[in-house]
Structure 1
C-alpha cells in the first residue's frame, strides 16, 4: 500500500505539471503538446532541469532563469496539490478503481481553475471525459465482477445531468450548460461508489457555493448579484464525497441501528 501511495503521489506531481499547461492553453484553443513550455515574460523555452515539478520553481526561487521575471506560485501549488490528491486517492480507494478516480481528480483540478479564471468549463475537457471514464469504470466493474456499481454509475450520471438541465432551463442566469455537462460526469463517478456519495456530491456543491457567497458578502467583496463560478464547488463537493461518503454512511447506519 505504501508503495502505491508514493507512486501515485509522484505521478500526481508529473500530471500536475502537465495540468498547468492544460489550464493555460486549453481556454485559448492552443495545443497542449506544442510548443514546449516557455516563460510568459521573455518567451524563452524552459529548460528540462527547471521543469521538474515543485523543485524547479524552488530552485529558481520563483523567477525565470533567463529574464528574471516572476513565475506565479500557482504553478508549484497545482503540482503539489495534484500529487497530494493522487496520494490520498490511492490511500482511500481500491486499486481497480484508482485509474478512473485519478483521471477524474486531474480533470477536476484543471476544470476548477479554468472556471475560476475564465468562467468556462471547456467541452474539450468535459466531453472526451465521458468515454474515458466509461471505459475506466467498466474495466473496474469487470475486474470486481460488480456490474451493479456500473449500472448505478449510469443511473447517477443520467439523474444528475437531468437535474442540472432542469435547473438550467428554469433559471438560466444561475446555471450554465457547462455545469450541466459536468454534472453528468460527477453523477457517474459518484454513483459508481454509492448512493451516499452521489447524494453528498450532488447537494454538497450547493452548500459550498452558499457558504462562499456568504463569505464574499461578509468580506465586502461583492453583493447579492455577484456571480461566482459554480464548477469549482461542484468538483470540490464531488472530491469530498469520494473521501467522506463511506465513513458517513457507516456512522449513519450505526446511529440508526442498521449496522
Structure 2
C-alpha cells in the first residue's frame, strides 16, 4: 500500500515538474525568462490563477481553452504533464529509491523539453544540453564509472561531429544541427561507451524508418528538414532502460 501511495505521489510530482517544463518549452526558444513574468495566457496575456495551473486537470476542466479569452490551449501542455508524471511514477515503481532512479528522473526532466523544443522549433537549446554534459559526467563519477562516462560522451558526440564534418566537406551542407552534436555529448555522459554505441544505432534506425514513412506518406523529398533530436533521445532512452537486455538478446541470436 505504501509503495502505491508513493508511486502516486511521484506521478503528482512528475506532473507538476511537467507543468514547469511546459514553461521552459514555450519560453526558451523565444529567449524569455522562465521565471518572470508569472504564468500567463500566451494569447491574451492574462495572469493565470492557481486553479488554471493544476496539471492535466485544469486542461480537462477548461476543455482546452483559456478561461479568460477562450483561446485554444495547445495539446502539448497536458501531454507533457502526463508523460513526465507517468515517467516519474514508473521509474519509482520499478527502481524504487535508488541512484539510477534519481539519475533517470534528472535525465528525463532535461530531455522532455529538448524533445518538444526541437520538434516545434528545430532547435536544441545549449542552456540545457551543455550543463547536461556536466551532469551526466557527475553521475558517472558518482556511480564509479567516470571513465565510461567520458568515453561515452566522446564517442556519442564525436560520431555525430564526424558525420557533421563529412557532410559539410562532401555534400557542402550540414548533415545535422550543431545542437544534435552537443546533445550527443550530453547523452554519452549518462550512458557510457557501450550503451552510447547502441543508442546511436537505434537513433539512426528509428530516424531512417520515420524518414522513409514521411517521404512515402507525405510525398516529401530527401532534403526535407526533420529534427533529429527526438530520435537521439528515443534511442538513448531505449538504450538506457533496455539496452543491456537487447544487446544480450542480439548476441545470443547471432552467436548461438
How far apart are the structure 2 equivalents of 1:5 and 1:241?
24
TM superposition shift of 1:48: 0.7
Deviations 1:116-145 (A, max 9, x none): 111111111111222233334433x1xxxx
Q: Which ranges in structure 2 are unaligned for 5 or more consecutive residues? A: 169-173
CA-to-partner distance for each residue in 1:58-95, whole Å, 9 max, x for gaps?
A: 11111111112111121001100111222233344461
Instruction: Give the superposition deviation at 1:150.
Output: 2.8
Mapped pair 1:169 → 2:170: no
Task: Give the equivalent residue in structure 1 for 2:63.
Answer: 61
C-alpha contact 2:155 2:197 (8 A) present in aligned 1: no
Contact 1:164/1:179 (CA < 8 Å) preserved in 2? yes
Question: How is 1:45-124 mapped onto 2 (pairs within 5 angstroms)?
Answer: 45-93=47-95, 95-124=98-127
Helix, strand or coil: the match of 1:25?
A: helix
What's the Cα RMSD here? 2.1
CA contact (8 A) 1:97 1:137 kept: no
Q: Gaps (5+ residues) in structure 1?
A: 142-146
**1:168-219: CA deviation from partner (whole Å, max 9, x where unpaired):** 111132122111111011111111xx72x32321211111110111111111
CA gap 1:101/1:26 in 2 versus in 1, 3 angstroms: same
Q: Which residue of 2 aligns with 1:152?
A: 148
Is 1:203 paired with 2:204? no
Q: For residues 9 and 158 of structure 2, what CA distance do their matches in structure 1 show?
A: 38
Task: With the length of structure 1 as denominator, give the TM-score of the two structures.
Answer: 0.88
Is 1:187–1:202's contact at 8 Å kept on the other side of the alignment?
no
* Conserved 8 A contact 2:137-2:150: no
Q: 1:93 & 1:164 partners in 2: Cα distance?
A: 31
Name the TM-score, length of structure 2 as normaliser.
0.89
* Cα separation, 1, equivalents of 2:117 and 2:247: 32
CA 1:207–1:21 in structure 2 vs 1: closer, same or farther (change >3 Å)?
Answer: same
- How far apart, in 2, do the equivalents of 1:253 and 1:212 lie? 26
* Change beyond 3 A, Cα 1:59–1:221: farther
For the 8 Å contact 1:92–1:243, the answer to whether it is kept is no
How far the C-alpha of 1:221 sits from its partner, in A, is: 4.6
Q: CA deviation at 1:254?
A: 5.3
Distance 1:221 1:79, change over 3 A: farther
Which residue matches 1:144?
Answer: none
Number of aligned residues: 248
| Structure 1 stretch displaced more, 50-59 or 236-245 | 236-245
Does 220-229 or 119-128 show the bigger shift?
220-229
Inter-CA distance 154–31: structure 2 relative to 1 (3 Å threshold) = same
